[in-house]
Amino acid sequence: MTWKRVDNSCLMKNELPVGQKLNIRSHETLRQRRTLLFTFCLALMLRLIWILILDPEPRLVGGDGPFYLYVGDQVARGLGLTYGNDPVAVVGPVYPAYLAFLQIVFGFENVVIVARLGQALMGAFLSLLVFDLGRRCIRSEVGIAAAVLLAVDLRFIVESGSVSTESLLTILLMLSIWLYVVAIERDNTRMWIVVGVSTGIATLTRGIVQILPLIFLLHLFLLRKELRIWRSWVCLVSGFAIVVTPWILRNWMVFGSPTIVQGGAAHFWMGSQGDGRSFRKQEMLDKIYDLRIGNGGADRYSYINDAINIIGLDPIGFLRLRTARLSEAYLQPFGTVAVGEVFGNESIKDMVSSNFEGSLMDTIRSPAFFPKLWIYIIHYGSIASSAIYMVLQRREYLQWSVLAIVILCFSGAYTILTIIPRYIFPIMPLFLIMAAYVVMDVGYRSRKLLWPMFNRYSSDVTSSTKVPRL
């Protein structure tokens, strides 16, 4: 069996003709529902095993975890989004509000475990979102394969146990993209406003998502024959503004800067310096002393002017530097560090590259070897398979264009700032959706090739054991 070419005259059409009702009692639908229920339960079970058994006490020294817990505690105690006595705008309010709500309901001593359990539930629901996004963009079988891949992907299992924005941001980002796809199908005002509201909430989780309305506008121009572009986009932006405007006004009144989030200019500046990576706190303070241009928030420095001056001296070198950092972020899968903290911090790459006798067997015996190998296979396999899918299905680009445009724009935005594997983690489900097509295609082709051989082998065995006629 091979894939049939899909009619793209109307993008992302549902699998049923207009007006035809879905027969919920059909065998195919019931089997699909059972598969999705199993996938949901599997995703939840694997995440609970990680949180409750393998990593019951996460390491919260350093990183963003303690910062978010502190800010969430401030919100829960009615002190607002503050750190110490200073208001905060380098992060959005959504994840601190999530932690604050859990603290109010379950108490400060339980906030970490309850937050992690909540993120495990988010991960299970994310598998269902990925299924329906794959179903609507490509087809049902691909959606199911993508959901299963995400359920068993150790990167997502591990991240559910971290006290950071990634789990919440990922599901909100995928929800916004899914709602956008649904809005294309229904094309009504209410649905476009809902897309904007969802995108606004995701933006207040991490500021980079503010580029998503522009990404959707770019994609809408690809569908100009199918939709009323500007009406749809204005409704989307209206919903987006409803959510983000109060936060922008707050930042304007507090910091004198009408922005969604502060820190973007600083990351642009850091990306132009030295090796193009983020600075540690003290290193940052030492370097920005001469850039201060006034009192106030994190963006009261001449970051952009200084970065432009640096780039102007060697623009080709800047492009090489940012390309190297982008490649580095994609070559290092997210989640290996957390796996190392649980199973052992041995570097698999260092052990493989070492020359001492027996290093290969020592590497394989390492408790972290197979979990990390699992991560590497899915990470590299999904990226490579996505590229293969886009090449093979280039004529049906309307099917997958929204997925590819989101990937390219988010990767590009982080490339000119600073980029690490954690930043691009929320777009990884989009790779899994496209990779699922290749997985299913290979599976069908393999079955088509091997089934006749199996039948021939079965016939030979049966004929040799038949009782001869008298």
pLDDT tier for residue 53 given thresholds of 50, 70 and 90: very high
For residue range 210-234, list pLDDT tens digits in order.
Answer: 999 999 999 999 887 656 888 999 9
Question: Is the pLDDT score of 358 beyond 70?
Answer: no
* CB atoms inside a 10 Å sphere around CB 171: 22
8 Å CB contact between 319 and 283: no
Bigger pLDDT: 234 or 64?
Answer: 234
Triad 327, 332, 333: Cα angle to 5°: 125
For residue range 113-154, list pLDDT tens digits in order.
Answer: 999 999 999 999 999 999 999 999 999 999 999 999 999 999
Give the Cα separation of 315 and 312 in Å (integer).
6
**What per-residue confidence (pLDDT) applies to 223?**
82
Overall average pLDDT of the 292-308 stretch? 68
For residue range 366-375, list pLDDT tens digits in order.
Answer: 888 899 999 9
Bigger pLDDT: 159 or 286?
Answer: 159
Size of the chain, expressed as the number of residues it contains = 470
**What per-residue confidence (pLDDT) applies to 12?**
40
Question: Is the pLDDT score of 467 beyond 50?
Answer: no
**What per-residue confidence (pLDDT) applies to 201?**
98
Bigger pLDDT: 268 or 280?
Answer: 268
Q: What is the pTM assigned to this prediction? A: 0.88
Bigger pLDDT: 347 or 65?
Answer: 65
Task: Quote the percentage of the chain above a pLDDT of 70.
Answer: 82
For residue range 14-39, list pLDDT tens digits in order.
Answer: 343 333 343 434 566 888 899 999 99
The DSSP call for residue 51 is I
Bigger pLDDT: 220 or 289?
Answer: 220
Q: Which two tokens stand for residue 289?
A: 């002393």
Q: Which two tokens stand for residue 309?
A: 């001056």
pLDDT tier for residue 431 given thresholds of 50, 70 and 90: very high
Strands (E), 96-250: none
Give the Cα separation of 384 and 437 in Å (integer).
12
Overall average pLDDT of the 96-116 stretch? 97
Lowest-confidence region among 46-55, 340-349, 437-446: 340-349
Cα separation of the two ends of the chain: 42
Report how far apart, in Å, the C-alpha atoms of 360 and of each of 339, 342, 345 are. Answer: 20, 21, 17
Exposure on the CB side of residue 420, measured as CA atoms within 13 A: 11
**What per-residue confidence (pLDDT) applies to 353?**
63
Give the Cα separation of 77 and 79 in Å (integer).
6
Overall average pLDDT of the 408-423 stretch? 92
For residue range 170-189, list pLDDT tens digits in order.
Answer: 999 999 999 999 999 998 99
Query: Which residue in 207, 209, 146, 220 sits closest to 181, CA to CA?
Result: 220
Overall average pLDDT of the 75-82 stretch? 94
Bigger pLDDT: 4 or 136?
Answer: 136
Bigger pLDDT: 310 or 427?
Answer: 427
**What per-residue confidence (pLDDT) applies to 18?**
36
Overall average pLDDT of the 239-263 stretch? 92
The DSSP call for residue 395 is G
Bigger pLDDT: 388 or 20?
Answer: 388
* CB atoms inside a 10 Å sphere around CB 48: 19
Overall average pLDDT of the 86-93 stretch? 90
Q: Which two tokens stand for residue 306?
A: 């200084």
Mean pLDDT of the chain: 85
Question: Is the pLDDT score of 433 beyond 50?
Answer: yes
Give the Cα separation of 142 and 130 in Å (integer).
10
